[in-house]
């Protein structure tokens, strides 16, 4: 808190306002008391008078209602001479009178009904007046109590001294806050720096830990293999076949490194798992994934696609040559095989698979091997079988010029038109290209047609998938 933000307190002005308020309250209290006493007497007199008037009106209405009813009996005071008629003449006279005064009788009844409603309304108003008077009395009592409490606030000099003490304490607190504010801000900045530094160290530690664990496992396996081969040959030296076994292990020396590389640049397992859900409708539409139409995922890597298929009750197995990744897949209960993709496909009979999939694998293969992959894929698929290959999209300039070459094992970017032509040339039909994973909208720029074009070139889809089917004719 700073001095410029603290409101100023004028003690003298505040005390003067309090004195004026107290004096005004006392004057109002005495005035209200007089009015209240006068009104209570007058209101009681007025209310009793109104009640008497209503009772009198009700009596008059009863009498009028009695006189307005239909006459069915000859009045007793008319039974004397000269009106002493026979019973028949009396009835005729009554009918004539009732007929003559029929309209007047109806008018009388309407007036009586209206007056009754007016009396009922007045009675309701009297009840509401009584309730309001009670509430007014309670309010006046509350005001009187409040004014009495105000009278208790005396000793203005004591209040002034108390306010002065409070103001002094506020100034002291402001000074303390000002002295503490700067160190607190400095501490917050240091904590933010430490937090970001710890977060960075934690991420680096996780990457290094995974790499070291995988590499140690790899080294342990190589040492175990060497000792086993040596034990079989002792006391003789290693033969040519055993030496070739060790030489072949050179292909796996970087397995642990590539797993760490994938964890850093490919994306988290959850991210890839969710991205691959886009392909599930194609699997369902092709009606594959049963035991007689299994799905083979070549270059299965960490097994996100296999796990997604397994969760949806499809029969699938994976193929890879990275032993660290294969071990991770097996730890999740996934069926995987260590084998070269072309050699494995050559070993399968025709029409034996329902689908072959590969995500970010074809850009790793030389052109001749890629063509063999397409050819063998068509051979082992059953009629109506499905092919899905996903790869980086070189139409995105950032992908084609930089992101693609982040992975040192990539060979060449593959334009979608080229891959589609290759698929159709080996006999696949209904081949489509699906473009996927554009940059987030906050990367894009709004504006002219040129800006929209640049958005497509730089921030458009980063990947695409070629999807085709084996002719079922």
Q: How many helices (H) and strands (E) does the chain have?
A: 15, 7
Determine, yes or no, domain membership for 360. Answer: yes
The answer to whether 405 and 448 have CB atoms below 8 angstroms apart is no
Final residue of a structural domain among 107, 133, 154: 154
- Single out the residue of 312, 271, 273 nearest to residue 295, CA to CA: 312
Least confident of 153-167, 314-328, 423-437: 153-167
Q: Which of 154, 185, 214 is the last residue of a domain?
A: 154
Q: For residue 226, tell me if it sits in a domain.
A: no
Residues 282 and 149 in one domain: no
365 inside domain: yes
Angle at 437 between CA 436 and CA 439, to 5 degrees: 135
Peptide bond into 235 cis (omega under 30): yes
Residue 68 maps to a domain: yes
Residues 284, 431: one domain? yes
Count of structural domains within the chain: 2
Measured distance between the N- and C-terminal CA atoms of the chain, rounded to whole angstroms: 83
**252 assigned to some structural domain:** no
Q: 122, 139, 154: which is the final residue of a domain?
A: 154
**Which one has a higher pLDDT value, 330 or 152?**
330
Distance CA 275, CA 100 (A): 99
Residues 310 and 447 in one domain: yes
Look at residue 269 and tell me if it is in a domain.
Answer: yes
Q: For the beta carbon of residue 358, count every other beta carbon within 10 angstroms.
A: 23
Is 382 inside a domain boundary?
yes
Q: Is-contact 459 441, C-beta < 8 A?
A: no
For residue 320, the domain's CATH number is 3.40.50.150
The predicted-structure confidence for 286-310, as pLDDT tens digits, reads as follows: 999 999 999 999 999 999 999 999 9
SS3 state of residue 316: strand
Q: Does the pLDDT value for residue 87 go beyond 50?
A: yes
Same domain, 138 and 285: no
Answer with the residue of higher pLDDT: 290 or 216.
Answer: 290
pTM to 2 decimal places: 0.53
Query: Could you tell me if residue 165 is inside a domain?
Result: no
Tokens of 143: 């005001």
Q: Which domain holds residue 369?
A: 264-470
């Amino acid at each position: 808190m700073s001095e410029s933000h603290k409101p100023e307190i004028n003690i003298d002005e505040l005390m003067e306002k309090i004195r004026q308020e107290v004096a005004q309250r006392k004057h109002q209290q005495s005035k209200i008391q007089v009015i209240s006493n006068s009104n209570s007497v007058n209101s009681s007199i007025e209310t009793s008078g109104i009640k008497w008037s209503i009772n009198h009106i009700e009596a008059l209405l009863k009498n009028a209602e009695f006189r307005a009813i239909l006459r069915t009996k000859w009045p007793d005071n008319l039974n004397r001479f000269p009106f002493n008629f026979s019973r028949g003449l009396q009835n005729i006279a009554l009918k004539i009178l009732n007929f003559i005064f029929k309209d007047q009788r109806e008018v009388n009844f309407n007036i009586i009904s209206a007056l009754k409603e007016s009396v009922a309304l007045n009675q309701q108003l009297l009840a509401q007046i009584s309730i309001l008077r009670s509430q007014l009395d309670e309010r006046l009592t509350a005001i009187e109590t409040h004014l009495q409490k105000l009278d208790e606030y005396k000793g203005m000099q004591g209040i002034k001294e108390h306010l002065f003490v409070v103001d002094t304490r506020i100034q002291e607190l402001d000074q303390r806050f000002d002295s503490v504010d700067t160190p607190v801000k400095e501490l917050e900045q240091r904590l933010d720096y430490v937090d970001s530094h710890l977060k960075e160290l934690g991420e680096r530690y996780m990457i290094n830990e995974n790499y070291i664990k995988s590499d140690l496992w790899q080294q342990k396996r190589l040492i175990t293999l060497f000792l086993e081969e040596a034990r079989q040959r002792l006391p003789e030296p290693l033969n040519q076949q055993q030496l070739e076994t060790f030489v072949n292990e050179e292909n796996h020396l970087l397995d642990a490194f590539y797993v760490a590389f994938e964890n850093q640049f490919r994306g988290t397992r959850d991210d890839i798992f969710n991205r691959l859900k886009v392909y599930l409708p194609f699997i369902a539409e092709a009606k594959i994934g049963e035991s007689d139409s299994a799905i083979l995922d070549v270059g299965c890597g960490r097994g996100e696609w296999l796990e997604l298929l397994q969760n949806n009750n499809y029969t699938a197995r994976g193929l890879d040559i990275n032993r660290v990744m294969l071990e991770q897949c097996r730890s999740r209960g996934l069926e995987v095989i260590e084998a070269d993709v072309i050699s494995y496909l050559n070993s399968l009979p025709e029409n034996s698979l329902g689908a072959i999939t590969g995500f970010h694998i074809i850009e790793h293969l030389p052109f001749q091997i890629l063509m063999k992959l397409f050819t063998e894929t068509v051979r082992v698929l059953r009629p109506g079988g499905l092919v899905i290959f996903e790869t980086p999209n070189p139409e995105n300039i950032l992908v084609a010029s930089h992101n693609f070459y982040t992975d040192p094992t990539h060979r060449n970017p593959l334009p979608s038109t080229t891959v589609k032509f290759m698929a159709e040339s080996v006999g696949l039909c209904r081949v489509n290209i699906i473009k996927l994973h554009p940059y987030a909208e906050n990367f894009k720029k709004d504006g002219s047609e040129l800006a929209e074009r640049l958005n497509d070139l730089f921030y458009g889809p980063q990947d695409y998938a070629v999807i085709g089917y084996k002719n079922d004719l």
